[in-house]
Amino acid sequence: MRDTFREQLRAILRASAFGRARILLPMITSVKEIKETILILNEEKTKLKQSNIPFDDTIKIGILVEVPAAVIILEKILKYVDFISVGTNDLVQYVLAVDRNNQKVAFIYNPLHPAVVSIIEKIISTCKKHDKPVVICGEAAANPKCAYLYLGMGVDQMSMNPSTVPTIKHLIRNVKQNDARETLKQVLAMDDADEIGDFLDEVVSGGLIDAIVNR
């Protein structure tokens, strides 16, 4: 398994000579995992240098925050990475202890659950504190209600399926970040997902979300 990982890192390094590339590590739960990866990465860099194979020696490395453990130790993790990507699909699932693919409990899966909103706000604020770029990816990024809150949190980028880009792009162009921040403050004080969802339906830029979704 480690040999396969080395091959993958080596391939990314070699590809980085031909265009912008970054390394994103999934399912990270400890600093040890990152340190071990950096050690292997540096070893592969040395091998490529010895073979005179070009690569980007300043390639950025980041992690996909998908489990609560990574959130709890995020300040420690940020010492070793260049950026953070929030994998909302798995993070929501693990925070709420629900399998989104199990129809018996899938209805519990909700990115507007107050615990989920709070934990993502914590991730983004921690990254901002340490001047680390943060990206939101997954289904939640394509949800206009969630995207509006992420704007209020100050997220740097959002990643989503191409088909949903026009909707979120239209949202971003038609709202003010200060308004999103004020909305976020109110949402963080709310008790449940239904209350948050209903509130966003009513107040987000005077019904802008409904206009976007139904246009």
In this predicted model, what pLDDT tens digit does every residue of 119-141 receive, in sequence order? 999 999 999 999 999 999 999 99
Give the mean model confidence (pLDDT) for residues 146-173: 94
Listed residue (59, 55, 46) closest to 18, CA to CA:
55
Average pLDDT, integer, range 178-207 = 89
How far is it, in rounded angstroms, from Cα 167 to Cα 39? 42
- pLDDT value, residue 115: 98
Contact in structure between 209 and 202 (CB atoms under 8 Å): no
The percentage of the chain sitting over the pLDDT mark of 70, rounded to a whole number, equals 94
Tens digits of per-residue pLDDT, 192-202?
999 999 999 88
Structural domains in the chain plus CATH codes: 1-61 (no CATH), 82-214 (3.20.20.60)
Q: What is the CA radius of gyration of the chain?
A: 19
Judged against a pLDDT cut of 90, whether residue 153 lies above it is answered with yes
The pLDDT value recorded for residue 151 is 96
171 has pLDDT over 70: yes
- To which residue do tokens 């260049």 refer? 82
How big is the CA angle at 88 (ends 84 and 93), to the nearest 5 degrees? 130
pTM above 0.75, yes or no: yes
Query: Tokens 């980085």 map to which residue?
Result: 16
Task: Say how many C-beta atoms besides its own lie within 10 A of residue 86's C-beta.
Answer: 28
Question: What average pLDDT does the segment 204-214 reach?
Answer: 54
